Amino acid sequence: MTDASPAALPSGSGSREHHMPRRKIDPIPAGAVPVMEAVNISKAFGATTALVDVSLRAYAGRVLALLGDNGAGKSTLIKILCGVFPPDRGELRFQGEPVRFTNPAQARGLGIATVFQDLAVCELLSVTRNVVLGREPQKGFGPFKWLDIKRADEMARSALLKLGVRWERGLDERGVNISGGERQSLAIARAMFFGSSLLVLDEPTSALAVRQAGKVLDHILQARDSGQAVILITHNFRHALSVADDLTVLAQGKVAAHFRRDEIDLDELTDLVARIA
Amino acid sequence: MADAPSTQAVAAARPSLGVVAGETMRRLLLRPEATSVAALVILFCVFSYLSPELFPAKLTYISITSFAAELGIVSIGVTMLMIGGHFDLSVGAVLGLTSYFATVLMRDAGWPPIFAAPAAVLVGAGLGAINGALVVAFRIHSFVVTLGTMLIWRGVVIALTGGFPITVDIPSVFRDVMSGTLIFGFRMSVVWFFAIGAAGTLLLGRTRVGNWIQARGQNEQAARNLGVPVNRVTIFLFMLTSALAAMAGVIQVARFASVDALRGQDMELQAVAVTVIGGTLLSGGYGSVIGTVLGAITFGMIQVGLVLAHAPGHYFRTLTGFIVVAAVILNTSVARRMARSRPLAGFRRGNVETDAALAGEALADNEAGQPTADAARGSP
């Protein structure tokens, strides 16, 4: 690596630009309403302050990368965005309207889909059952409703197809038998298929091999192109720079910096994070 | 199919008979019921050898199924609860308390059994709701919660009965419907047992709630994040478990025309043993109601078989213990076995073709192009 950047950074999308120079992006259209906006969010757990006055905006068709060290407050922020717990102070706005979630189901109802770090795959359920979990298609009448297994299979197949995943193995394959990359594909396919407006991904590439990570990044671009707002939480600067339109750096529970992708390259980002962390 | 390449492709896509048989066997062995089927077959051979005159006889089967039915109904609830990731040690005490309730309703309040029996089952569901609500509200492990409620409800039964048996006149129609020897000498409780087993199997495998129960047992956080109402599923499971215990209690009241302070004692652990023999994982997430039905029959077979083989009474516990331990060892490796076990050659493509092959259907007649390409790529 003749690269000036720290060699410790794993390079996820190897075939992309080496130095990750500034990339031209379209500006945010004037008057666009963010799909999700957090305004001056604060959160403390007992004596520990997790977030102080954090604000961010996620727009349709754009990828917002959320960077920061362990303990910077990324996970807390994500959990607030998807309704796991409410903020102590501050406001969430969804499509411009103030919202207050008391549980994740409400956030999901609005089309906020989250792909969590723990992969959210049930190991002994089939691929189909994992994809439709929580939204199983039913048939029948009155109180007698059965799983529509044929339709569930169709849903799973078209979800994976929509994502461009060629699923070589059966849809009856159980969760234990599919790889980490396939699990992420499955989770993203699930989020995209059910027509979400905001896709939140918590460290989707951290447990993956290089090629699989590249695939997941492609999926993120696909979700963006299909008009979803995407928030990507990651440790990996290269992954962030290769797909993000906007970048927010969190440090000690505060927004330490915010950039558009055309304002920063890999070296600058690395320097900056080294300075503030 | 006239041209050579297409015929070849079909031949390549369709595995030989031996491979189909092998693949069928592999899939059967990965089913949770495999443990109990093996136990049943082995025990049947052993007991038939030990008492060749008595064991393979109709009366024996009647005894086995009668014993299996009541314990089995309790175990079906315990199984679904365990698949959902919880334990219920209070089922025996719930059975005792609801039996007492049904008896008192019929004897003292003069209710006809047709109202008293459903009332007892409803009370059972209510007791289960208490278990479920405690587990959900305080996030305490269900093992501890139900240990507590077991002691409480057993204490209540002992206090209410004063320790003495209470008898009640049961109309013969009610006794016949619940537990009479109506079908070629087999008890009606066996019909209830199989009907509940079938309903449980459908609930678990063919409904949305069934999918949620399995997901709850495997990865609670994932299920919650995906919008599964995990708390409601948990409370529902506890209600179902206790209601089934009450159902078994009603059957026993109809059979004995009495209730006593220790009714249902030890059943909570026997039900766990039956569930485990039936192939359900102690850690939850995976299991089978059919396995539990077979497990209950296994349990009955040990009980009756040992008597017929003139074995001393304590052998029952010892042999049951061995079988439970063996079953647990087999079951816990199920996830490992699944991960390791690969489909045999010829079954590495999509499930549509595989299923068609297993069903013995001709492949690829309608879609010659697609499977040909797949076959070419798939075959090593």
DSSP A4-26: SS-TTS--SSTTS-SS------P
Distance CA B278, CA B78 (A): 11
Q: Are residues A114 and A201 in the same domain?
A: yes
Predicted pLDDT at B181? 82
Give me the number of domains chain A comprises: 2
Q: Are residues A146 and A219 in the same domain?
A: no
Residue B218: enclosing H or E segment and its boundaries?
Answer: helix B208-218
Q: Are residues A170 and A74 in the same domain?
A: no
Distance CA B202, CA B179 (A): 24
Q: Are residues A146 and A208 in the same domain?
A: no
Do A104 and B227 lie within an 8 Å CB cutoff? yes
Distance CA B321, CA B319 (A): 5
Query: Domain B27-340's class?
Result: mainly alpha
Q: Give the residue extent of every domain in chain B.
A: 27-340, 344-380
- A205: pLDDT confidence band, cut at 50, 70 and 90? confident
Q: Are residues A112 and A127 in the same domain?
A: no
Q: Does A124 touch chain B (CB under 8 A)?
A: yes
Q: Are residues A134 and A59 in the same domain?
A: no
- Does residue A20 lie within any of the structural domains? no
Distances (CA, A) of B205 to A75, B201, B282, B283: 35, 6, 19, 19
What is the ipTM score, two decimals? 0.75
Q: Does A122 touch chain B (CB under 8 A)?
A: yes
Do B338 and A120 lie within an 8 Å CB cutoff? no
Do B226 and A134 lie within an 8 Å CB cutoff? yes
Backbone angles phi, psi at A247, to 5 degrees: -130, 135
Q: Are residues A106 and A136 in the same domain?
A: no
Predicted pLDDT at A206? 79
Domain that holds residue A40: 36-121+196-276
Q: Which amino acid would we find at residue A275? A: R
Q: Does A220 touch chain B (CB under 8 A)?
A: no
3-state secondary structure A117-143: CCCCCCCCCEHHHHHHCCCCCEEEECC
Q: Does A258 touch chain B (CB under 8 A)?
A: no
Q: What is the mean pLDDT of chain A?
A: 81
pLDDT tens for A11-62 read: 444 444 567 777 777 777 777 888 889 999 899 888 888 889 999 999 988 9
Query: Does residue A110 carry a pLDDT above 60?
Result: yes
Query: Does residue A250 carry a pLDDT above 80?
Result: yes
Distance in Å, alpha carbon of A4 to nearest chain B alpha carbon: 40
Q: Where are the alpha helices (DSSP H) in chain A?
A: 74-81, 104-109, 127-132, 149-162, 180-193, 210-225, 237-243, 266-276
- Please name the residue of chain A whose CA is at the shortest distance from the CA of residue B218: A122
Distance in Å, alpha carbon of B175 to nearest chain A alpha carbon: 30
Q: What is the CATH number of the domain that holds A89?
A: 3.40.50.300
pTM of the model: 0.81
Dmax of chain A from CA atoms?
68
Predicted pLDDT at A75? 83
Predicted pLDDT at B337? 67
Predicted pLDDT at B378? 36
Q: How many CA atoms lie within 13 A of A245 on its CB side?
A: 19
Both tokens of residue B77?
Answer: 């609830």
Distance CA B271, CA B229 (A): 27
Predicted pLDDT at B207? 93
Q: Are residues A129 and A108 in the same domain?
A: no
Among the partner residues A108, A138, A170, nearest to B208 by beta-carbon distance: A138
Q: Are residues A116 and A200 in the same domain?
A: yes
pLDDT of chain B, 380 residues: tens digit per residue:
344 444 444 444 566 788 888 878 877 777 888 888 888 899 899 999 988 888 888 889 999 999 999 999 999 999 999 999 999 999 999 999 999 999 999 999 889 999 999 999 999 999 999 999 999 999 999 999 999 999 999 999 999 998 889 998 888 888 888 888 878 888 899 999 999 999 999 999 999 999 999 999 998 888 887 878 899 999 999 999 999 999 999 999 999 999 998 999 989 999 999 999 998 988 888 899 999 999 999 989 988 888 888 888 788 888 888 888 888 887 777 656 666 666 665 555 444 444 444 444 433 333 333 333 333 333 33
Q: What angle do CA B255, B259, B264 make, to 5 degrees?
A: 85
Q: Are residues A149 and A262 in the same domain?
A: no
Both tokens of residue B216?
Answer: 């709850």
Do B219 and A121 lie within an 8 Å CB cutoff? yes
Query: Does residue A208 carry a pLDDT above 90?
Result: no
A172 with A125: CB under 8 angstroms? no
- Does residue A232 lie within any of the structural domains? yes
Residue corresponding to tokens 């009610």:
B174
CA nearest neighbour of B274 among B80, B47, B16: B80
Q: Are residues A66 and A109 in the same domain?
A: yes
Among the partner residues A108, A114, A124, nearest to B286 by beta-carbon distance: A124
CA nearest neighbour of B276 among B314, B237, B332: B332
Q: Which residues of A touch B376 (CB under 8 A)?
A: none
- Does residue A190 lie within any of the structural domains? no
Q: Which residues of A touch B208 (CB under 8 A)?
A: 136, 138, 145, 147
Distances (CA, A) of A204 to A215, A233, B373: 11, 8, 33
Q: Are residues A222 and A251 in the same domain?
A: yes
- Please name the residue of chain B whose CA is at the shortest distance from the CA of residue A108: B227
